[in-house]
Amino acid sequence: MGILDGKVILVAGAGGIGTGLATRYAAEGARIVLGDINTASAEAAVAAIKDAGGEALAIHLDGSDEASATAAVATCVETYGGLDGLHANFAFLGDCDPGAGILELPLEIYDETQRINARGYYLCTRAALPAMIERGAGSIVYTSSAAANASTPAQVAYAMSKAAGQALMRHVATRYGQSGIRANTIAPALTLHPGIAELVPQEMIGWAQAAAAIKSRVGNPEDIAAMGALLLSDQGSYITGQVISIDGGTTMRP
Ligand SMILES: NC(=O)c1ccc[n+]([C@@H]2O[C@H](COP(=O)([O-])OP(=O)(O)OC[C@H]3O[C@@H](n4cnc5c(N)ncnc54)[C@H](O)[C@@H]3O)[C@@H](O)[C@H]2O)c1
């Protein structure tokens, strides 16, 4: 028995953190539909979940496409009988040049960042809400970033897209609380997994560690999944409308 026993959860975006989310939620007893534009990433995670005795299904999902998001929710309903939770976690990470400010960043990268990260979370939310309203309850978790809550000499498009997701979360929490639906945001700082270790130079990992109050390590997907599990569970039933930083104290907001 886990804290998500029997719940049906759509995890949108596999990769490093999404694999950690799906793995933890399944271990807590949830039935998982894990979608990614890179289907192989979702399939690998689902195979490991099944090997561990969990219940999960991998699907192709383009979270920035309305029909694809709608189909993902339909899969949850048809396969597992409904939808209790959505964790919108995918992202386009093309705005990652530390030398690029607003004057240098190509407009195409700005547009794609907003299209996937901001519009994509909007579309997945629109797809998920009717199924949750029908059930009379639901919990939506969005993965944001410390970049949305801190000053950023680079990654302006990424930070803007992640701030947009926080505004979306507050709208959902406010408007649909009366329908039994909660919405919250997790804002990680550097969260280490093999994909990020390849993308980010070693010195940046050192900087992230130095910037945090907790110096002994950087964050990992299990840290994000622990909070996600709480927020998706009934144990989190009085938590809504919040941005929760899982960043070792890198950002400290009132
Ligand atoms: N890892 C970090 O240091 C860190 C820090 C702060 C915030 N985040 C956030 O955490 C989330 C997960 O990041 P990650 O580190 O696991 O990155 P990742 O690249 O390992 O995973 C992101 C996944 O999103 C998928 N994706 C991209 N576009 C998609 C689309 N249109 N539809 C469906 N899937 C799509 C990718 O294929 C990939 O599997 C992202 O929202 C990211 O912004 C990560």
Q: What is the CATH number of the domain that holds 112?
A: 3.40.50.720
- Both ends of the chain: CA-CA distance in Å? 36
Residue 182 lies in a domain: yes
Q: What is the mean pLDDT of each run of 10 residues along the chain (254 residues)?
A: 96 98 98 98 98 98 98 98 98 93 98 98 98 97 97 95 98 98 98 89 87 95 98 98 98 91
Q: How far is the CA of 74 from the centre of ligand 1 (A)?
A: 23
Residue 93 lies in a domain: yes
Residue 131 lies in a domain: yes
Two tokens at 230? 């709480």
Residue 40 burial class via C-beta count within 10 angstroms: exposed 0-12, middle 13-18, buried 19 and up: exposed
Pocket of ligand 1 (CB under 6 A): 13-18, 36-38, 41, 61-64, 89-93, 116, 120, 143, 145, 188, 190-191, 195-196
For residues 141 and 103, what is the distance between their CA atoms, to the nearest angstrom?
A: 33
For residues 3 and 229, what is the distance between their CA atoms, to the nearest angstrom?
A: 8
Residue 165 lies in a domain: yes
Ligand 1, closest atom to CA 64? 31
CA angle 30, 33, 38 (to 5 degrees): 140
* CB-CB contact of 160 with 57 (8 Å): no
Which residue is catalytic, options 25, 80, 158, 176?
Answer: 158
pTM for the model: 0.98
Pocket test for ligand 1, best of 41, 119, 191 (most atoms within 8 A of CB): 191
What pLDDT is recorded for position 118?
98
What pLDDT is recorded for position 149?
96
For residues 141 and 228, what is the distance between their CA atoms, to the nearest angstrom?
A: 7
Q: Is 142 a catalytic residue?
A: no
Going by the DSSP 8-state scheme, the letter that residue 200 receives in this structure is S
Ligand 1, closest atom to CA 63? 32
- How many CA atoms are closer than 13 Å to the CA of 177, on its beta-carbon side? 13
Residue 251 lies in a domain: no
Q: Can you tell me which residue has the tokens 């993308």? A: 199
For residues 67 and 91, what is the distance between their CA atoms, to the nearest angstrom?
A: 18
Residue 136 lies in a domain: yes
Beta carbons within 8 Å of 226's beta carbon, 6+ residues apart = 24
Residue 2 lies in a domain: no
Residue 1 lies in a domain: no
Q: How far is the CA of 30 from the centre of ligand 1 (A)?
A: 21
Domain that holds residue 165: 8-244
User: Total domain count for the chain?
Assistant: 1
